[in-house]
Structure 1
Amino acid sequence: MRPYSNGFCPQCRGELRSPKRYIIKAQVPNLKKTWLSGANLNGSNLFLANLENAYLYRANLQAANLSSTHLYKANLSLANLATTNLFSANLKGADLSGTNLSNSNLGNANFEGAKNLSIEQVKSACFWQTAKFDLPFQKLLYQTPESSAHRNLCLKLWFYIPSTSTQQKNQ
């Protein structure tokens, strides 16, 4: 594993902690087997990145774009993925022990073979219904009641829906 303790990632063509919070500038980063323990990647754009077997223990990925990211067998234990876009991400075999997934977009993500994933973690996220899980885990998910208030919050977070009062003011 390659540690980037100084925050610089040559394959990312920029700083991991840049003021604009973007990693990708010209190409998709290949961060396979990279050591990013405790890294602050808040708001980063890692669309299509390869983070296979990456070590992201206690990393802050809050509000990051990880859509279509390859996180196969990544260690995401105790990582903060709150409000992160994980749409179509591959998390097969990833370690998600204590990972914060609250209000993250899990639509079409693949969690087959994921380790240490709990019902509570998934239910705190958004659009988990279209994600792929191991069959026994998926059955447990659907046996647990879902909060309609949380579903509505997810819709507001991920899709802008103008309120009726806003629509009336504009007319």
Structure 2
Amino acid sequence: WGAAIPVRLFDVFKGFAPAFWFPVVDDRTAGWWAVVYGGAAITGHCFSFWVRFRGGKGVATSGGVLIAIAPMTAGVGAGVWLLTLLVARRVSVASIAAALSVPVTGFFVDSTFPIMTFLVLMAAFVVWAHRSNIRRIRAGEEPRIGDPLEGGGGTESEGGSPDRPGGEGGGR
């Protein structure tokens, strides 16, 4: 847990900074440009050159973009994530639930076309990125927080992966 919090905060900042500051620096108004810059940050995080285009799952980075472009929606998504985590004890389930709650919340709160487009695409991407977790949940093989880990290598939702020993960015 020692490194997890700073890493997640940095992932959030990676999404927040370009979506919030680049439109200002680029002398553009918010809207599409914030969405484009935020989407680029998420894409760069998930398909990083430095880890052979196999980065994280984009949840924390998407959260940073949301804080910049739709703060109320981000707050609801964070609340859904936390409540789901407490009940289900699975980071993957919490991430999927939060992602699915965001477009619904955005419809009522931040319903501009650029933001709604981003929210729907982001939710679809997060669910797609968790497809291996969904398969493990359906098979009854996805561990919960607090369950003993087999082999000590972690699970994909906690930062590790069978094909990336040592947890090189698999769960973000």
> Radius of gyration: which is bigger?
1
* Structure with more relative contact order (C-alpha pairs < 8 Å, separation 6 or more): 2
Tell me if TM exceeds 0.5. Answer: no
TM (norm. structure 1) is: 0.27
Q: Which one has a larger percent strand, Structure 1 or Structure 2?
A: 1
Q: Which one has a larger percent helix, Structure 1 or Structure 2?
A: 2
TM (norm. structure 2) is: 0.27
